[in-house]
Amino acid sequence: MAVERTLSIIKPDAVAKNVIGKIISRFEDAGLAVVAGRMMQLSREQAEGFYAVHRERPFFGELVSFMISGPVFVQVLEGDNAIAKNRDLMGATDPKKADPGTIRADFADSIDANAVHGSDSAENAAIEIDYFFKPEEVTVRR
Ligand code: UDP
């Protein structure tokens, strides 16, 4: 299996619930490591740019408002098969449809306030990591 990096965001709803550590434990317990991370209050421009692919979707305005409603924790996760593994740990976009034991089943309230973001492809992971982190901010594990 290839070692990959993926971008993960702990969204404002989960930060407000004070479950950053519990969510990161899910990643670490599954063999993923945090190789970069910071708390951020996204500006409207940053949130719109990050979700630009969804600009034409009906929920875009609400998604941006939600993502700037409070601080987020942005991080880079590294490990074998990190992109798909992170998506599996997150669960389905709608927490009502997420498998039991997934992060969204356990911590999310609704399809919009759904606790976490995770890159959905290698191409998007590279773009999304670059969006928030300079190359030198992503550390190398020893
Ligand atoms: N979203 C929403 N309403 C919807 C679908 C999506 O508010 O009907 C939000 C939700 O926060 C989701 C994000 O838009 O996480 C991006 O949607 P996507 O389909 O890419 O889901 P994800 O990859 O996050 O599971």
> What are the boundaries of each domain within the chain?
1-41+70-135
Regarding the beta carbon of 120 and ligand 1, being less than 6 Å apart is answered yes
The one-digit pLDDT tens for each residue of the chain (142 residues) are: 799 999 999 999 999 999 999 999 999 999 999 999 999 999 999 999 999 999 999 999 999 999 999 999 999 999 999 999 999 999 999 999 999 999 999 999 999 999 999 999 999 999 999 999 999 999 999 8
Q: pTM here?
A: 0.98
Contacts 24+ apart (CB under 8 A), 133-137: 133/36, 133/74, 133/76, 137/36
Regarding the beta carbon of 112 and ligand 1, being less than 6 Å apart is answered yes
Q: Which CATH number fits domain 1-41+70-135: 3.30.70.141, 3.30.930.10, 3.90.280.10, 3.40.50.11540?
A: 3.30.70.141
Find the catalytic residue in 42, 68, 117, 128: 117
Please answer whether residues 138 and 125 qualify as being in contact, where contact means their C-beta atoms are separated by less than 8 angstroms: no
Q: Which two tokens stand for residue 126?
A: 């590279």
Instruction: Give the pLDDT confidence score for residue 113 in this predicted structure.
Output: 97
By alpha-carbon position, which residue is closest to atom 9 of ligand 1? 112
Longest pairwise C-alpha distance within the chain: 44
Please state the φ and ψ torsions of residue 35, each to the nearest 5 degrees. -110, -5
> How many angstroms separate the CA atoms of 45 and 13, rounded?
20
117 has catalytic annotation: yes
